[in-house]
Amino acid sequence: MNTILNINHLKKVFQKKEVIKNLSFQLNQGEILCLLGPNGAGKSTTINILSGVLEDDGGNVLYYGRDIRTCSKEFQKHLGFVPQDLALYEDLSAQDNVHFFGSLYGLKKEELKERTKESLEFAGLWDRRKDKVKTFSGGMKRRLNIACAITHHPEIIIMDEPTVGIDPQSRNHILNSIRELREKGMTVLYTTHYMEEVEEISTRIIIMDHGRILAEGTKESLKEELETQKRYLLSVENLENFSAKGFYKIEGVEEVSAKEGIIEIATLKNVENLDFIIGEAVRQGLKISHLSCENTSLEMVFLNLTGRTLRD
């Protein structure tokens, strides 16, 4: 695995409060790495340091082994940054915006023209290229923001919550385009507090809170490593016969509830007790019409780790 960025012991202090604490991780070639965390976790501060918007107060960031402070110009050339706040000129057309950002990266003449077209097509905005940005919906502006960041074909693209507050259609467009960018060979660092997005696009996840990494891995490995429970769902025809007490006596069972014809039993993942659960249901005279087992969701993993839901 080829490591592009090495983030080492990063630290940031705001008004005497350490909001990034000894943060270390790598960004590897070809991945979509999602930084996941609730509001205030330190995601934006981290990527603002990476993209040069903020200075750190300790640690370093290495781009192929070189400190980005000493190779800032070269690093910036290979970086596309999509900030959380839109960085667009409202009174200019979509085309002029992309053109402007492309020219900042040294693109000229025919190449600039071609790349502008390519980026606008990629963002699904070619038909609206001559319209002023102020006439665009929030989702279109977000897509244009991305178009402006990729015109120079960066190696790494860093995106800070690019789907906040937009319509589902634009959101899907953005998520699909991130996968497409990866297929084209770009490496993506993406922050979000939407679990569904992490499930959908990430190849690796870093869960962070209070400026620290709490867990790191693929969605599969995180679930495997951190989930402690599984859930059995029993659909029964005669719920009036059900009593939770008998189920609680079974080894491993931690929670039992029932509503609308379904009994839900949360049990320790590593205890094999399904025979006993079915035996108890039969003993209570319950008629089971369907049985399924659900593993813990990534959302539950997150809740267990942080004690907070993502939309706090």
Ligand X SMILES: Nc1ncnc2c1ncn2[C@@H]1O[C@H](COP(=O)(O)OP(=O)(O)OP(=O)(O)O)[C@@H](O)[C@H]1O
The residues that touch ligand X, with contacts defined as CB under 6 A, are: 14-15, 19, 37, 39-45, 193
As measured in angstroms, the least distance from the Cβ of 19 to ligand X is 4
Residue 246, helix vs strand vs coil: helix
Q: Report how far residue 161's alpha carbon sits from residue 134's, in angstroms, rounded to the nearest whole number.
A: 21
Pick between residue 40 and residue 106 the one whose CB is nearest to ligand X: 40
Q: Do the Cβ atoms of 120 and 95 come closer than 8 Å?
A: yes
Pick between residue 46 and residue 97 the one whose CB is nearest to ligand X: 46
Of the candidates 175, 205, 176, the residue with the CA atom closest to the CA atom of residue 189: 205
Pick between residue 48 and residue 267 the one whose CB is nearest to ligand X: 48
Pick between residue 13 and residue 274 the one whose CB is nearest to ligand X: 13
Q: Report how far residue 98's alpha carbon sits from residue 105's, in angstroms, rounded to the nearest whole number.
A: 11
Pick between residue 19 and residue 305 the one whose CB is nearest to ligand X: 19
The residue type found at 246 is: G
Q: Do the Cβ atoms of 160 and 145 come closer than 8 Å?
A: no
The angle that helices 138-150 and 109-122 make with each other, rounded to 10 degrees, is 140
Beta bridge partners of 132: 93
As measured in angstroms, the least distance from the Cβ of 164 to ligand X is 8
As measured in angstroms, the least distance from the Cβ of 123 to ligand X is 23
Pick between residue 2 and residue 15 the one whose CB is nearest to ligand X: 15
Match 């790191």 to its residue by tokens. 216
As measured in angstroms, the least distance from the Cβ of 83 to ligand X is 11
Distances in whole angstroms, Cα of residue 296 to Cα of each of 62, 260, 261: 36, 21, 21
DSSP state of 308: S
As measured in angstroms, the least distance from the Cβ of 182 to ligand X is 23
As measured in angstroms, the least distance from the Cβ of 86 to ligand X is 14
